[in-house]
Amino acid sequence: MSEHRNLFDPVKMGDLDLANRVLMAPLTRNRAQSDGTPRDMAETYYGQRAGAGLIFTEATQISAMGKGYLDTPGIYTDGHVAAWKKITDAVHAKGGRIFLQLWHVGRISHVSLLPDGRNPEAPSAIAAKGQTFTANGFEDCSTPDAMSVERIHEVVNEFRHAAEMSRKAGFDGVEVHSANGYLLDQFLQDRTNKRTDQFGGEIENRMRFLELVIDAVSEVWDKDRIGVRLSPLGQANDIGDSDPEGLFTEVYKMLSGKGLAYLHVVESFPGSDKDSAGQDLLKRLRGHYHGFYIANGGYDAESASAAISDGHADAVTFGRPFIANPDLPERYRLGAELNTPDQDTFYGGGAEGYIDYPFLKPGEKAA
């Protein structure tokens, strides 16, 4: 039996009671239909993982212009809602909880993925030094158009509409994706935001778009059913800031004052080192958020238990371990051996590497 008892202590997040603190991270799998409608096998995939204290769905675009990768799901049409409703019903039937992650990729896109071959949209017309996944394989991100103030407010309304659709689809709440170098993060950080209007320049201005989105989503959902995801270390999609501590200190304080359900922080990315300077920064920032805190990035049962025990985190999200282990909480509880994830099937494809990972056999214990 595992010694990590605190991972399995129930906890209250907002007004939700979570059965455990082993949460499933958002995981892009590129298995939706081309129009963004989740496929039937997604119902099985999420239902298999309902033992998580809470499931965060894969990032889900709020509009056709929010798409940045081939075969990612949406939440802006009735067809999307109907397909997601089957998924939320499957999770709830097994006693699980599930939040939808609301997503707009901004400049991390390609003209072939967007309506009428339009350019991506971003705070400033600066192309990302990176690639995205299209029908032709990996291609360089297209140069974006700088968004007008009118367009910014249109996207705020698209977030509101997506929040409304997520309620219709039966979700327990929503997460606003402001991490990993996507649109809201692009407005926050000055490598990507060179604007001189009310959405650029000073930190207060760069936070304005995120605040407007949170307030719009709060018109649909109670604040204790809304969370935000951040990645202060800037390790993805050519994102960065000249003063990350100054910026994210203010972002953390702003979010702390919003009374949201939680803050979800990407503390490291696969393949990146957990250097001492970055970890020290995360600890200093943590002191500015006085609410439910979810940690993510490279955790295992032991380190997650330690993070909860020492008060750094209230819960932890696990990504790749949940891909390969649909019964991950039970495996951690028993100290059982974990399945090894197959990286070749992470993105795209069918059932293989998606819904065919084995569960523990009856009576199977620690290795």
**pLDDT one-digit tens code per residue, 254-272:** 999 999 999 999 998 776 6
150 C-beta neighbours (distance < 10 Å), count: 7
- Whether 163 shows a pLDDT value over 60: the answer reads yes
pLDDT for the residue 276: 83
| Cα atoms found within 13 Å of the Cα of residue 347, Cβ hemisphere only | 11
Residue 2 has pLDDT above 70, yes or no: no
175-198 residue pLDDT tens: 999 999 999 999 999 999 999 999
Q: Return d(Cα 209, Cα 215) in angstroms, integer.
A: 10
The domain spanning residue 132 has which CATH number?
3.20.20.70
Q: How confident is the model at residue 234 (pLDDT cuts 50, 70, 90)?
A: confident
Would you say residue 354 lies in a domain?
no
Residue 326: inside a domain, yes or no?
yes
- Decide if 367 is inside a domain: no
Q: Catalytic annotation on 347?
A: no
64 inside domain: yes
Of the candidates 46, 182, 252, 293, the residue annotated as catalytic is: 182
Is residue 351 domain-resident?
no
pLDDT tens column, 345-367: 999 999 999 999 999 987 666 55
- Picking from 85, 77, 23, 1, the residue whose alpha carbon sits closest to that of residue 227 is 23
Give residue 88's identity as a one-letter amino acid code.
Answer: T
pLDDT of 61-117, one tens digit each? 999 999 999 999 999 999 999 999 999 999 999 999 999 999 999 999 999 999 999
Averaged pLDDT, 217-224: 98
Residue 1 pLDDT > 50, yes or no? no
pLDDT in tens, 27-38: 999 999 999 999
Question: What pLDDT, on a 0 to 100 scale, did the predictor assign at position 3?
Answer: 65
Confidence at residue 364, expressed as pLDDT on a 0 to 100 scale: 67
Encoded tokens for 306: 């330690």
- Distance, in Å, from the CA atom of 9 to the CA atom of 161, rounded to the nearest integer, reads 35
Span 238-250, pLDDT tens digits: 999 999 999 999 9
Distance CA 81, CA 76 (A): 8
Mean pLDDT of 214-229: 98
Helix, strand, coil shares of the chain as percentages rounded to 5? Answer: 35, 15, 50
Residue 356 covered by a domain: no
DSSP run (H or E) holding 183: helix 183-188
Range of the domain at 166: 5-345
Structure confidence at residue 219 (pLDDT): 98
Q: What's the structural domain count of the chain?
A: 1
Give a yes or no: residue 331 inside a domain.
yes
Query: What secondary structure, in 3-state letters, does 110-156 show?
Result: CHHHCHHHCCCEECCCCCCCCEEEECCEEEECCCCEECCHHHHHHHH
Task: Average the pLDDT over 53-59 and give the result.
Answer: 98
Asked if residue 352 belongs to a domain, the reply is no
The per-residue pLDDT for 366 is 54
Q: Does position 128 have pLDDT exceeding 80, yes or no? A: yes
